[in-house]
Amino acid sequence: MAGKASEYHRGEMDIHEQVSTFHLVMNITKWGALIIAVGVLTTTLWFCTGAGFMGGLISGVVLLVLGVIFLREKPTTDH
């Protein structure tokens, strides 16, 4: 059962497009989750509690600012 040698050689394929797609999907997921969380928090506090519009808006803005601070890209350090 000796077949012909494979043309595939591990580590020689250009994967820049796959890496770019992976980073795009991760960024869409990360920022999309933050936007959904802000929207859910704001509307829940606005309509379902006594906080009202201003309470929901202030809480949403605080969550948005904290989310941007914690989710932004960190500078990479080369080892």
| The model scores a pTM over 0.85 | no
In a domain, 56, yes or no: yes
In a domain, 22, yes or no: no
13 pLDDT above the threshold of 90:
no
pLDDT recorded at residue 79: 58
In a domain, 45, yes or no: yes
In a domain, 3, yes or no: no
In a domain, 33, yes or no: no
In a domain, 13, yes or no: no
CA distance 75 to 59: 29
In a domain, 16, yes or no: no
1 pLDDT above the threshold of 60:
no
CA distance 46 to 54: 8
Q: How many domains does the chain have?
A: 1
Residue 9 identity: H
Domain range enclosing 60: 39-71
pLDDT recorded at residue 78: 65
Confidence band, pLDDT 50/70/90 cuts, at residue 2: low
In a domain, 46, yes or no: yes
pLDDT recorded at residue 8: 72
